[in-house]
Structure 1
Amino acid sequence: MLKKIAFLCLIVAVIAGANMTLFADSEDISDPQPAYDLDSKSISGKAGNGNDETPGEWYIGDTPPNLDPSKPILLFVPGLNNVAQVWWEDNDMYQTAYDAGFQTTFVQLHDAGGESADMWDNGELLAEKIVEISNHFGGKPITVVAYSKGGVDTQSALTYYDAHQYVDNVITLSSPHHGSQLADLAYSSWSSWLADLLGAQGDGTYSMQMAEMNAFRNQTDPQPLAYYNDYYTLGGTDWGSTFSSTWYGGMYLSQHGDNDGVVTVDSSRLPGGQELAIGDWNHTTVRTGDTFSVFENYISSSQLANNIQSSEQKNKTFPSNQWVHGSGLEQGKHEITIPIEENVKALTLNLLTSQQPNDMVLVDPTGKTHQTNFKSTKFQEGVFKGGISHATTIESPQSGEWTLKIHSGNDNAYLLLADFKAPEKYELNKHVNRHKSLELTYNLKSNTDQVNSQSLQTTYRITESGNPSQTLTYTQKGEANHSQHITLNQPNQVYNVTIDIEGKTKTGETFKRTIIESVKVPGTPYK
């Protein structure tokens, strides 16, 4: 008996010792602290996205007891509409880096002050802070870990604002190096009401339009300092939980390939960088300690052999199974008609509003209320920060006109995204010629096995991004195949192209689809 008791005591002691070791390896740390008196070093922010931190403020994390003096300082850079606190509030990235023996620092960019900024303004501010951080730590090299748009801001700081000499490597976590189609969506003709109420069209979102980032890539990649530093990239393929904020973006972006709910895998790849991993992360989890072990060995390393390829795209084929619609919602009751053709395997409806409606009811073509629950989620960050998503999926929906009835208690706005799992009705491609002007030719070919060609109507709305009053509209009717030629002449202007396609199937059911993209007229480079 005494031997058994002694053995049990030994087991308890071993377990207790193991637990003590476990907790010792992950020592609790305090929040990072501002590096200096804010009144003397910081700048004012603007109102807009709800943030009220101070742009230019930077923080120092606790010094780990196992600090390795040979390791570079880690500087964590936030993304679009983010504040520096995303790295340590409800996030173990700071703790993970501390446990690994790294000295950490964190910075607030212009977005932290209330309004998003483009890569030029954020890049200039970040470059100033990189110099300050380097001086504070006696000239030790810095490795930047940049989240989302922070990766683009970082490359701007290093390429154009002389910060390259203070930085060793750059790690980008799902950065939209080629832009985000969600930014194009925010500037579409259907989004203007909602974007106005949410403030979704700030300078940061503008700069993330696909056409604007294509111009940035074409201007930046050939620069002598563009890849002076080594860049390592990570991307994600998870959308998060069903009907979450990243799920909304994931569904929209799914027509463009694998994505993490905000950025596609293709966009996360940098032409002169090295891709470390494409993992099962969404746009929130990619910035957590889950990814630290993936890039830890690349925080300080030798020079890469960069193989830069142009991002210029002269021909493009568009996906075709989503419909987008939006408008203002005055106080009271409203109805949105949703046509559904035959042979739709599943329909996902995602209604984004600026405020929570009092009630929403979905009515089928027979007039009966469809028993479905909308899952509502408020977006805490991203392009549509502050918006509320209401989503539901209907399996094998009855064909005909459905009606979404909305009762809004206040002035409101909506953006409806309908995703159809159904046979494709047409093929649309584009050819581009760039001279002093931008010449676009869109070619549409309908699937005559599915579509009554004489019923087809295609509307092209070409709008100056950020200026909805400047819109050109072209309409094509009653042709199975057609070409629409558009010439744009205003240098450096980004345009949103919203294409609405409507027609009837062979059985007479109405279908609607929407395609959204951005284009930019050639002009003088910004820098």
Structure 2
Amino acid sequence: MVKKLGFLIVALVLMFPTLSMAGDFGKDDPSGVPGQWYVGTTPSNSAPSKYPVLFVHGLNSSSNTWWNENDMYDTAYQNGYETAFIDLYPTKTMWDNGALLAGKIHDIYHYFGEKVVIVAHSKGGVDTQSALVHYGAYPYVARVITLSSPHNGSELADLAYSSWAGWLAGILGSKNDATYSLQTGYMSYFREQTDTHTNVGRVPFYTVAGTKWGSFGSSLYWGGLYLSSYGRNDGAVTENSSRLPYASHLGTGSWNHSQIKEGNSTFDLFKNYLNESVPSSAGLNAVEIEPGIETASSYIRGGEYSGTKQELFTVEEGTEEITIDWISSHKGTSLILIDPDGKETHALESTTDENGLFQGAFHHSLTIQLPKAGEWKVHARSPEKEAYLMNVKYDSEFNDSVDVQISSNSIKLTEKNSKVKFKTDISIEYYQNGKLKKSKIKIKDHTFKLPELGEGVYNLTVDVNGNKNNQKFKRTILTSVYVDEKGQMYSQY
């Protein structure tokens, strides 16, 4: 049963005066009020064959993302398309935004007097599908184009709600209704509710994905580094998650999560799908989604401390490269990295997370080629109480040693190689009556059953301590599952 929340929103339509250049639009507008929508200047080269285009923003964003430091609005204007832009709730669920958006789509349809094509970025694509399928807005939309939308959930959302990252994410404000709903377990439930709905095929969907996450230290690099365990990604969303099995995929390109919504990046890719007549779909593919983790390549620790903190991690023989990323809530943290021989490294590069999951945090990082095998140490010192997260990323053949399988209400870890032996500790975090609950799980033969704790999202942290060819290795696997009111479990696996 889909849970819908009621609300009252007063719509405000702002009509802007005709502008000589479309790019001037919106620089001084009061954007960011949920439910408010804007109409762009009517281009002189508009035509009846061109649908109006409604642009929908994503998580922690607003309508001005389409024109502030972005030429998407100007590009659409120059190509003769009428445009509209809407503000949704930046941190609420697809149900809240779907209900809000559905009513506004109806209003925008009547304003233009015809159907619109929706171009949605990131979570805006999930919100749009919710509006069309669950809130009945499909009669007013000709088609939908999603730009790197996490249709199958976000592994970064799983990270934010994990036992190791929870302290830091909570302090930085990364935990909110939107992030909570994007955990892969809950999105598997959303997919089940949506993909089996009678309205799901009434409006054609087209998807676009990116695979670039920038150079070392850039704003989307850290998200891309973490997500690389799950395949190609744009620093925020994996290529796999950006697709729908019944959608036509327009293309995957070398764009990061910000670039993919820029006019100079992707407008030419989808512009022919903004018209009444569209190209033949013969060259397009509806791709089957392949679930599961590709590699277990991270070791994660985190929490809160005052004064000093030490973390240990192990590097196995044959490791090609490691990247240590220590994320702190304060700038003044000093770090010392100590290798197995006792050699100290103080020069960890420090950068600020400007628009990632841990926006406002500070990354202290270092990449080491052919690191020495053995136990490494990180000593941290902070002049004030500190929340932190340590992610050690491995390029190693050991990354492909463990597999996770989820079926019914049981979760099983298996060795991919007979020479691999390991032990696991599993922690569960969930919310009950608005309060965070934590639980440790005992396992037998690498299998455990989820305790009957009721409906909700359960975030799972699996810490693996393994041995392969007499070499110790440690990894952390994060995922989530959702249990509905009937006890049915949903997951990305």
Return the TM-score normalized by structure 1.
Answer: 0.81
The 3-state SS of whatever aligns with 1:462 is strand
How far residue 446 of structure 1 moved from its aligned partner, in angstroms, is: 6.9
How far residue 413 of structure 1 moved from its aligned partner, in angstroms, is: 0.9
Question: After superposition, what is the alpha-carbon deviation per residue over 1:20-64, rounded to whole angstroms, capped at 9, x for unaligned?
Answer: xxxxxx9463223899xx8xxxxxxxxxxxxx9321121222222
Tell me whether 1:443 sits opposite 2:422 in the alignment. Answer: no
Cα distance in 2, alignment partners of residues 160 and 259 from structure 1? 28
How far residue 442 of structure 1 moved from its aligned partner, in angstroms, is: 0.6
Question: 2:462: which partner in 1?
Answer: 499
Question: After superposition, what is the alpha-carbon deviation per residue over 1:106-138, rounded to whole angstroms, capped at 9, x for unaligned?
Answer: 111111xxxx1110000111112212222333x
Question: 1:84: which partner in 2?
Answer: 63
How far residue 423 of structure 1 moved from its aligned partner, in angstroms, is: 2.2
Picking from 57, 63, 66, the partner of 2:36 is: 57
Matches for 1:150-299 after TM superposition, within 5 Å: 150-289=124-263, 290-299=265-274
Picking from 325, 333, 336, the partner of 2:311 is: 336
Q: Is the 8 A contact 1:498 1:516 kept in 2?
A: yes
| 1:501–1:238 Cα change, 3 Å | same
Question: 1:489: which partner in 2?
Answer: 452
Cα distance in 1, alignment partners of residues 287 and 343 from structure 2? 55
Alpha-carbon RMSD across the aligned residues, in angstroms, is 2.8
Matches for 1:35-46 after TM superposition, within 5 Å: none
Question: After superposition, what is the alpha-carbon deviation per residue over 1:289-340, rounded to whole angstroms, capped at 9, x for unaligned?
Answer: 1100000001134698999999797xx566222111111132x232222222
Question: 2:491: which partner in 1?
Answer: none
Question: 2:427: which partner in 1?
Answer: 461
The 3-state SS of whatever aligns with 1:200 is coil
- Letter in structure 2 aligned against 1:511: F
Corresponding pairs, count: 461
Cα distance in 2, alignment partners of residues 128 and 470 from structure 1? 39
Cα distance in 1, alignment partners of residues 275 and 342 from structure 2? 64
| 1:374–1:519 Cα change, 3 Å | same
Q: Is the 8 A contact 2:138 2:202 kept in 1?
A: yes
Tell me whether 1:30 sits opposite 2:24 in the alignment. Answer: yes
The 3-state SS of whatever aligns with 1:268 is coil
- Letter in structure 2 aligned against 1:519: V
Matches for 1:109-120 after TM superposition, within 5 Å: 109-111=88-90, 116-120=91-95
Tell me whether 1:319 sits opposite 2:295 in the alignment. Answer: yes
Deviates more, 1:395-404 or 1:277-286: 395-404
Cα distance in 2, alignment partners of residues 88 and 411 from structure 1? 39
Cα distance in 1, alignment partners of residues 89 and 369 from structure 2? 44
How far residue 167 of structure 1 moved from its aligned partner, in angstroms, is: 1.3
- Return the index of the structure with the highest Cα Rg: 1
How far residue 343 of structure 1 moved from its aligned partner, in angstroms, is: 1.9
- Letter in structure 2 aligned against 1:421: D
Question: 1:45: which partner in 2?
Answer: none
Question: 1:75: which partner in 2?
Answer: 54
Q: Is the 8 A contact 1:379 1:388 kept in 2?
A: no
Matches for 1:410-425 after TM superposition, within 5 Å: 410-424=384-398
Q: Is the 8 A contact 2:23 2:74 kept in 1?
A: yes
| 1:301–1:410 Cα change, 3 Å | farther
How far residue 504 of structure 1 moved from its aligned partner, in angstroms, is: 4.8
The 3-state SS of whatever aligns with 1:218 is helix
Tell me whether 1:132 sits opposite 2:111 in the alignment. Answer: no
Picking from 454, 467, 470, the partner of 2:438 is: 470
The 3-state SS of whatever aligns with 1:106 is strand
How far residue 440 of structure 1 moved from its aligned partner, in angstroms, is: 1.0
Q: Is the 8 A contact 1:211 1:520 kept in 2?
A: yes
- Letter in structure 1 aligned against 2:42: T
Return the TM-score normalized by structure 2.
Answer: 0.86
Q: Which runs of 5+ in 2 are unaligned?
A: 1-19, 489-493
